């Protein structure tokens, strides 16, 4: 699978660089050298990534910043630049200035890309503490005011800003939650990253515990090792399991689901993390109030149909680029429940935008978030504007 992915990167990069070379060749050797550099930046790191994923070495902060990060920037830039060049060429053809049009379009697109990249980089440090109140008619009276802090998709590695992590910890401690949950993708693709995650968040405490579930990147990294590191540090790590929690004399259930990535990535314990909603809920009494932790929001429909009141998810990052006013993000064309809050009857889903980033340090509109959720008793108000139909 990894070799096929590497070959795909080579073909993808070569195709786009080939298009660019047609227009850059007009600059002579400098243009061709520029195209060659783009090609090398586009394919060279793919083989370094391949060796790292095969466990041949653990990539340092320098490798992730100066090898992997340029790779992702180039992969995003190439289709934009090649498309702009072709469109500029087509626009200039009627005026016998196709090559000139292509070059102007390249310059304009390169400038826009640089501006967006710099703005998006600054956006990765724009930490938002968002307070959400969810009302449920089935909430036991004793749970009125229960406070949950949700963090998600931290993708921690040696390159992660320690200053940002300290700000996240401070925000969580200031919120004084009853329950802290991490809804997957704690690590940045490597099992050894789990130790860095523990170093950053191992000091957090909450009366009802600190919980963490599997995300797809935790599975890719090697779930056995990631889970062992988290549990050894005192995190509660349920997999397709429900646990009863007592609060002010009342009892509710917290359910931790697996992730669909386990079905196609069985290595390192991934096969043990295939989600199984029926198994997870088998010991939950009828009518009990349930909070489910499911990294992938695709699991929500089955949870909602089975009466789970609140599901907390992540995974989408809101595409890392979103327009909240339009309820749209880059993930919207690919994921049914891509961003924000959804409701179905008395069931609610919250899709967290992530508390850090993955791949490119770029966030626009979808700012890194610490979510403070307060539970209230009462009729389900219109606090979730996305009303979902799960009948289809």
Region for residue 269 given its phi and psi (left: phi exceeds 0; alpha: psi -120 to 50; beta: otherwise)? left
Cβ within 8 Å of residue 95, ≥6 positions away: 101
Cα–Cα distance for residue pair 153/319, rounded to 1 Å: 12
Q: Quick: pLDDT tens for 129-181.
A: 999 999 999 999 999 999 999 999 999 999 999 999 999 999 999 999 999 99
The arithmetic mean of pLDDT across residues 17-24, rounded, is 90
Q: What is the mean pLDDT of the chain?
A: 93
Taking every pair of C-alpha atoms in the chain, what is the biggest distance, in angstroms?
Answer: 80
> Any idea where the domains of the chain sit in the sequence?
2-123, 128-387
Whole-model pTM?
Answer: 0.94
With bands split at pLDDT 50, 70 and 90, how would you rate the model's confidence at 241? very high
The arithmetic mean of pLDDT across residues 95-111, rounded, is 93
Task: Report the DSSP pairing between strands 179-182 and 147-151.
Answer: parallel
Is residue 52 predicted with pLDDT exceeding 50? yes
- 3 state DSSP class of 335: coil
How many other CB atoms are found less than 10 A from the CB of residue 123? Answer: 20
Assess if CATH 3.60.21.10 describes domain 128-387: yes
Is residue 22 predicted with pLDDT exceeding 60? yes
């Amino acid at each position: 699978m990894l070799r096929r992915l590497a070959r795909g990167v080579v073909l993808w990069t070569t195709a786009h660089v080939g298009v660019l070379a047609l227009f850059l060749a007009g600059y002579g050797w400098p243009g061709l050298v520029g195209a060659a550099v783009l090609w090398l930046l586009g394919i060279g790191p793919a083989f370094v990534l391949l060796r790292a994923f095969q466990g041949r070495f653990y990539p340092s902060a320098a490798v992730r910043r100066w090898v992997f990060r340029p790779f992702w920037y180039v992969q995003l830039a190439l289709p934009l630049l090649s498309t702009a060049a072709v469109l500029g060429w087509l626009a200039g053809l009627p005026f016998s200035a196709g090559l000139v049009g292509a070059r102007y379009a390249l310059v304009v697109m390169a400038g826009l890309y640089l501006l967006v990249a710099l703005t998006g980089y600054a956006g990765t440090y724009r930490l938002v503490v968002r307070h959400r109140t969810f009302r449920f008619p089935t909430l036991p009276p004793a749970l009125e005011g229960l406070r949950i802090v949700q963090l998600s998709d931290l993708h921690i590695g040696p390159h992660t800003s320690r200053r940002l992590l300290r700000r996240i910890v401070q925000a969580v401690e200031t919120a004084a939650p009853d329950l802290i949950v991490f809804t997957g993708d704690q690590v940045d693709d490597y099992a050894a990253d789990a130790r860095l995650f523990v170093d950053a968040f191992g000091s957090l405490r909450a009366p009802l515990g600190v919980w963490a579930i599997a995300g797809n990147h935790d599975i890719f990294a090697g779930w056995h090792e990631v889970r062992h590191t988290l549990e050894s540090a005192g995190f509660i790590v349920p997999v397709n399991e429900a646990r009863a929690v007592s609060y002010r004399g009342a009892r509710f259930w917290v359910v931790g689901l697996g992730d669909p990535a386990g079905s196609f990535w069985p290595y390192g314990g991934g096969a043990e993390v295939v989600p199984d909603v029926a198994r997870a809920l088998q010991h939950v009494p009828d009518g009990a109030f349930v909070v489910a932790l499911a990294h992938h929001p695709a699991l929500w429909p089955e949870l909602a149909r089975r009466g789970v009141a609140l599901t907390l998810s992540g995974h989408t990052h809101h595409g890392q680029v979103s327009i909240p006013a339009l309820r749209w993000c880059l993930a919207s064309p690919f994921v049914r429940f891509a961003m924000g809050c959804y409701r179905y009857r008395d069931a609610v889903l919250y899709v967290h935008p992530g508390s850090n980033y993955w791949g490119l340090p770029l966030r626009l509109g979808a700012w890194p978030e610490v979510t403070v959720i307060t539970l209230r008793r009462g009729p389900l108000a219109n606090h979730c504007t996305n009303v979902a139909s799960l009948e289809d």
